[in-house]
Amino acid sequence: MLGILCGLASEEKIARRIPCSIVACSSARPQRAKELARSLANSEATRLLSFGIAGSLNSSFHLGDVVIGTQVRSSNGTWLCDEAWGQALSVKIPQAIFGKIYGSDVPVSSSSAKALTHRKTGCDIVDMESHGIAEAAAEANLPLMVIRSVCDDCTMNVPRFLLAAVDAEGGFDLFRALRHLALHPLESPDFFRLIHGSRIALDTLKTIRPYIA
């Protein structure tokens, strides 16, 4: 049984079509991700997977790229992904690239913050769930994997208000976002670039979903 942790409802919807899986969604809340990851580890799951979209920290990682994790880093430590699992996935998803994931408790939103994080950690992409499930996998001695698709490259600035627009179920409150943009129109270009990038990344996840189980 595969235990899958996602951050957003749009990711969860795709993951729930993966056979023989248990899926949890943290609603982009890192502490919630850690709690759900431990619940997955204590369930019937025999392997743990962080699945969804992510931001790029590395100029070689572009919109829509599929990233198979080799390790997860955070301020609390480093955890290795299961090498055999990763190699098997790379055979089934030949367009995927291997990369290091940084798990962050706070959004890494600006291009300058992404560049700094890349320099300090050597990681290629960032999300807010992978470190939670990595800790849980280590505690339970379960194989760990990360599969992410890039939704914003390292040059893109992600509007910080977007996290507040994620509701308790992991959905996106578009009206709340639009109200914010009405008051802060200069953030509109970054917002619409991210929406475009997210669609590309989610479409990529739909394409590779059959090869994950």
Backbone dihedral region of 49: left (phi > 0), alpha (psi from -120 to 50 degrees) or beta? beta
Confidence of residue 69 (pLDDT cuts 50, 70, 90): very high
Q: Which of 51-60, 153-162, 177-186 has the highest mean pLDDT?
A: 51-60
Report, as an integer, the average pLDDT of 92-116.
Answer: 97
Please give the pLDDT value at position 52.
98
Q: Give every CB contact of residue 78 below 8 A, 6+ residues apart in sequence.
A: 71, 72
Q: Give every CB contact of residue 181 below 8 A, 6+ residues apart in sequence.
A: 187, 188, 191
Percent of the chain with pLDDT over 70: 97
Query: At residue 147, what is the residue type?
Result: I
Query: At residue 128, what is the residue type?
Result: M
Please give the pLDDT value at position 186.
81
pTM over 0.75: yes
Please give the pLDDT value at position 182.
79
Report, as an integer, the average pLDDT of 121-129.
Answer: 98
For residue 165, is pLDDT > 70?
Answer: no
- Of the candidates 109, 107, 108, 89, the one whose C-alpha atom is nearest the C-alpha of residue 98 is 89
The beta strand positions in 7-116, using DSSP E, are 21-25, 47-56, 66-74, 77-80, 97-103
Please give the pLDDT value at position 164.
67
For residue 96, is pLDDT > 80?
Answer: yes
State the first-to-last Cα distance of the chain, in angstroms, to the nearest integer. 9
Identify which has the larger pLDDT, 103 or 175: 103
Confidence of residue 181 (pLDDT cuts 50, 70, 90): confident
Question: Do strands 21-25 and 2-6 pair parallel, antiparallel, or not at all (unpaired)?
Answer: parallel
Please give the pLDDT value at position 125.
99
Is it true that domain 2-211 has CATH number 3.40.50.1100?
Answer: no
Average pLDDT, the chain: 93
- The answer to whether 191 touches 159, Cβ cutoff 8 Å, is yes
